[in-house]
Chain A
Amino acid sequence: MALRYEYTVETEDLAKYYRMGNYIVKALDGVNLKIRRGEYVSIMGPSGAGKTTLFNMIGGLDRPTRGKVYIDEVDISKLDAYELAWLRARKIGYIFQTFNLIPVLTALENVMLPMIFAGVRREERIRKARELLERVGLGDMLYHSPTELSGGQQQRVAIARALANDPAIVLADEPTGNLDLQTGLEIINLLRQLNKERGVTIVTATHDLKMIDVSDRIVYLRDGKVERIETRAEIAVEAEEY
């Protein structure tokens, strides 16, 4: 698996329409996007701009109406249910606004779960889950259940879980949306550190402006279309002008 792909994510004329009674809502309408390996990209835009829909399409959670999504150069719209499940387990890590930990399992068990699906041996699962939880600063809370953890701690467990199978890409949908300012900032910094450390591509859908500081590029979505894309260098220049 030493193959290196230049682009982790590529979308081609990606569109998703929903039927709402008599009219059609174009949640995404022809999105072309290329995300390089190891990049930290934020997708910004007002509510209803199509951020979550894009997240679902890239994550293989829903099928597009038109267009293509490539993950590591494979067109995932051609995959069947089994192949998609494998893709979700091995290639993609998910982080949600509402954390979505399995409430009946401990922190350690939550991080081990994706490794069960990937067929990792039990001892290795425990070792790796412990290591990841230590990395996100929860080394002494391995056996806590999600209800015993604060929002920020739950999101840290979710981050550890997302990284369990060394995915090519971590998708985070509003990861700071349910957190206070300071905790949100800590989560953003943690994501950025992990991105640097592990070279994992991170794509976040967000309207948290704190995310701008750490992103390599920012994609602005509006009405299901890419309005503009800015790199960090450009943003820095803009900031100097004011």
Chain B
Amino acid sequence: MGTWEIGEIRFPLSEAFYISVQNVRRRFARVAITTASVTLGIAFFVSLMMMASFQAQAGGAGIQPYMYWLLFISLLVCGVGITNSMLIAVAERYKEIGTYKCLGALDRHILELFLIEALLIGGIGGFTGYVAGLIAALVYAVANPAVGMANALKALAAPNPAVPLVGVMPVALGLLLLGVGIAVFLSLAATLYPAYYAARLNPADALRYEV
């Protein structure tokens, strides 16, 4: 039936990455809000684990079982926050998604753009959260004579088996990896559904959205 050949569609990862970085840079206010919710969640997680490790080093009680529950709830709240802002971020870009499709994008290319963006937000939010948590924990150590800076630094350099998943690593490194890991996971998980829904929209429907 066809009288012309269908060729290939391409969208190299480097191009997708470039556009996602532009999206993060140019929509800074929106991204900052999403990133802040990641940062707060991770900062809470990191500071709590560090403070408990410092206490243990100073001969105190260390990580208590109820803290895991506290962490779980805080990360859950953080996840809901990210999902909420990602839903809006995707919804306000329906028309743009329709445009990409008009220019030749496949569903998976749209998905790629949003997931790379989520990766960036998770990575940045996780790292800033770690730094904020570290600072908070150190302030706590200095302000609390029973702990002190010396104990804090010793605790950071030594492994604490009570820290989940990364108990074998020095606390400072383990919490960095775990914090960024959790942030990226939460961010990806929260973006997956809205991005998948958006990517599957028929271009005519996507273009019709007026925001």
Contacts and interface: CB of A to CB of B under 8 A. Distances in A.
Interface of A: 1, 3, 5, 56, 59, 61-62, 72-75, 78-79, 81-83, 85-90, 92, 94, 96, 98, 100-105, 113-114, 116-119, 145, 161
B29 interface: no
Contacts of B95: 98, 100
A116 B204 contact: no
B204 A62 contact: yes
Given A100-B95, A104-B22, A114-B104, A119 B203 contact: no
A195 to B, nearest CB: 20
A85 B9 contact: yes
Which 5 residue pairs are nearest across A and B when measured between Cβ atoms?
A: A89-B104, A117-B104, A62-B204, A104-B26, A61-B204
Contact of A82 (B11, B19, B98, B106): B106
A75 B10 contact: no
Contacts of B1: 74-75, 78
Contacts of A73: 3
A101 B204 CA distance: 16
A5 B96 contact: no
B143 interface: no
A96 B12 CA distance: 27
Interface residues of B, number: 36
B207 interface: yes
A86 B7 CA distance: 7
Contact of A117 (B11, B19, B96): B11
B4 A3 contact: yes
B103 A88 contact: yes
A85 B3 contact: no
B204 A83 contact: no
Interface in B11-63: 11-12, 15, 19, 22-23, 25-27
A74 B2 contact: yes
Given A62-B202, A88-B102, A114-B103, A105 B11 contact: no
A86 to B, nearest CB: 5
Interface string B93-108: 0011011111111110
B6 interface: yes
Nearest to A59: B102
A119 B25 CA distance: 26
B202 to A, nearest CB: 6
Contacts of B207: 61, 96, 100
A215 B101 CA distance: 28
B7 A94 contact: no
A117 B12 CA distance: 9
Contact of A5 (B2, B3, B106): B3
Contacts of B202: 61-62
Contacts of B22: 104-105
Given A89-B103, A102-B99, A105-B22, 18 more contacts: A59-B102, A61-B101, A62-B202, A62-B203, A74-B3, A74-B4, A78-B1, A79-B6, A82-B6, A83-B6, A87-B6, A96-B99, A102-B96, A105-B19, A114-B104, A117-B103, A117-B105, A145-B26
Contact of B23 (A87, A104, A114, A117): A104
B31 to A, nearest CB: 11
B124 to A, nearest CB: 17
Given A59-B102, A94-B102, A102-B99, A116 B12 contact: yes
Interface in B72-119: 95-96, 98-107, 109
